[in-house]
Amino acid sequence: AGVCQEFRGAGIQRSMIRLREEAARAKGWWGCVTTTYCNPASSNNLIEEGWRQYQPVTPWMTQGTQYWRKVLNPDDPRVRSIL
């Protein structure tokens, strides 16, 4: 969730992250995945919202990409098969 430079620092990105999580929960998803690349501010926002870094078995982005996921429903049986 990118934010135009003139609006940065107001918590907009973190709000957009939370909105994406709410939409995923409403659809019954067990979790979410996203990526960052050379963007410490976005990485820090994901960390603050409870996201964790992980390494996918088959990375799909360019080298240096950071992969993130967040489990939204830890009681979902599908979660046990991927963690």
pLDDT tens track for 33-73: 999 999 999 999 999 999 999 999 999 999 999 999 999 98
pLDDT band at residue 74 using 50, 70 and 90 as cut-offs: confident
Over the chain, what is the mean pLDDT?
91
Q: Give the Cα separation of 10 and 1 in Å (integer).
A: 14
What's the CA gap between 72 and 30, in Å, rounded? 5
Above 70 in pLDDT, residue 82? Answer: no
Of residues 47 and 4, the one with the higher pLDDT is 47
Which pTM does this prediction carry?
0.85
- Look up residue 1 and give its two tokens: 């969730």
The backbone region for 50, taken as left when phi is positive above 0, alpha when psi lies in -120 to 50, beta otherwise, is left
